[in-house]
Structure 1
Amino acid sequence: MIKIPRGTVGAALAAVLVLAAGCAEERAVTKLELTAALPDRVPSGTVLRLGDPQYQAVIQASGLDKELSDAGVTVEWANISGGPQSIQAFRADKLDCSAVADIPSLFAAWTGTATKIVFQAVTLDPLEHPIYKLGVAPGVSVTSLADLRGKKIAYSAGQAQGALVLRVLQKAGLSQSDVQLVELTSNGDSYVTALGSKAVDVAPIGAQNIKLYEAKYPGSSSIFTGIRDDASTVYCLTSAVEDAEKAAALKVYVAVRTKAVLWANEHPAEYAKAYYQDTQGLNEADAKAVVEIQGEKGIPASWDAAITRLQETADLLAAEQKHDRLDVTTLVDRRFEPVQAAAAGDRVVTGDAS
């Protein structure tokens, strides 16, 4: 009989236990076909990794987080939003979904990251409550879109601001050769700083920041684009919606987030405090002003109009930035469309807000 040293047995047993523990931590994924119905039951321990800081604050302030926990959904919140951050997190497998406008889903597809849009919201008066205005540098005269000819314009190809610039040029009857596009990623106050230093003549700035910009830089100004820019979505890794457990949890989250949008409409002061004061550090007056500038958001009964606008944007970017043409219906998971509508009930927007 061969005798194995006791220490060796112990070490081998320890290795087996560690390996077993590691295997136990790995969750077996049940594949859900993209054509299959969304599951109704959320298995215990299901985790969603979400980059949705604005509605994280709203959900927690409104008490809607209890609906998530009661349904068995555990959320790991990430302070991530917008295209560049979310796509990077997707590629590192650190995030399941993120709140963005419409452009990130296009650039994810063009750069090889498979995603699906699972949530759509609209601004009820989008032209009166734009997301962006065009900030104009001190001493520069721009009073209409026609005045953009020959100007230096801040431009970020993979962000909503970049698409807006191309749409503005299209509306003005100008081409890229008629202006000077200055590649500059919009990150925090980068566009404001570029305008203030006159590195650029024009840049899209969040409408809520225009007053602060004009107060900080005497002689600066701004103009409306006259273009609808209110796209508001949540997009997820395709692998997340193909995971039966996460898909069930997302069904719950989409319904809860829908209710959060409507709660924010009905409780503007509480919304302003929960997000803009407590999270973003604005004072009470500025926080309330931002919420008023944003206007109310609605939940569309149908995603048809939003998808049409997304296709138009994709076609424009494909032509102007030399990308392959995309069929945007492949980027949208319409199984979540009736989930939103049901959660909104009689407060759903039945027409295309304009």
Structure 2
Amino acid sequence: MASPDLASRGSFKGRTVIVTGGAGAVGTQLSLAFGKAGANVVVNDISTTSDGKFRAQEVVDEITAQGGSAVLDTNSVVDGERIVRTALEKFGRIDVIVNNAALARYVPFEEDDLSVYKRILDVNVLGSISLILAAWPHFKSQRYGRVVNCSSDAIFGMTEVTPYTFSKGAILAGTRALAIEGAPHGILVNCVAPTAYGDMMLLHLNKMDAAIRDQAKEFASTTYPPESNIPWFLALCHESSEITGEFFSLGAYSVSRIVLGVQDGVTNLRTMEECLQQQDAILKNPKAQINVPRNCDEFNEVTVRGKSARPQESLHGH
């Protein structure tokens, strides 16, 4: 089925893009959109159909059938060097990475074991790191690169998906660090939390009570089609975008900024009893200002501990 135009034809002409998890719900639509916009697309995915064929091959075939340029890559996401080599051997350069591949498992915390954590962290965290590490020298040498990592709204708290949530929290924090390091070299790094009806969401929906499951699926399929996430992905990956080090929640053709902030607090807490007495003042102060620092230096400037530690004259601007 032909995908809609989500970006102008030719807007990514000459750019080479790697999409991991490129045959999943979001990954398929993203790969097709890049292909329509003129990019050379490396569609990375190891999943197969019931007859043993790589699902990503269907995505590649659709891109090329529409006159686009694409290549299949079936390396594991932890083999970043090999994925980058596919891009360089086929297209001669690498400009954009979208770390979309992910694993999740929905079970109560006590039923997980470390092997589950290792498997999920390997794909969701080390897979992203491996690919960025492999591409970074090329980005630096050409003084250009775009990276979009994928986190999840699960970072706000979700039951029975603890390994996945741990991994997505790591992605969010690591994105900011990479953005700071990449900025002097023209490398922009951002993070999105897509919301899409597909295999990942179905893991959650299928655990719902049978009385509401079908209704929930119908709502999700119509409200959160995978393609409703794609325009913001494309915008962050485009050469005209200047955003870096930011986090966004996507879905239903909407975008919201996610912020990691710090509120005004309380100083001079010297005993446990004083801390207990001040818990409401710290957590429930409606007048507390929320500051959104972009790095550790700014964090130290805006925290109440940082303010109290500064010389008194600096607090008054002298």
Answer yes or no: same fold by TM over 0.5: no
Larger Cα-atom Rg: 1
State the TM-score, normalized to the length of structure 2. Answer: 0.28
More contact order relative to length (CA 8 Å, sep ≥ 6): 1
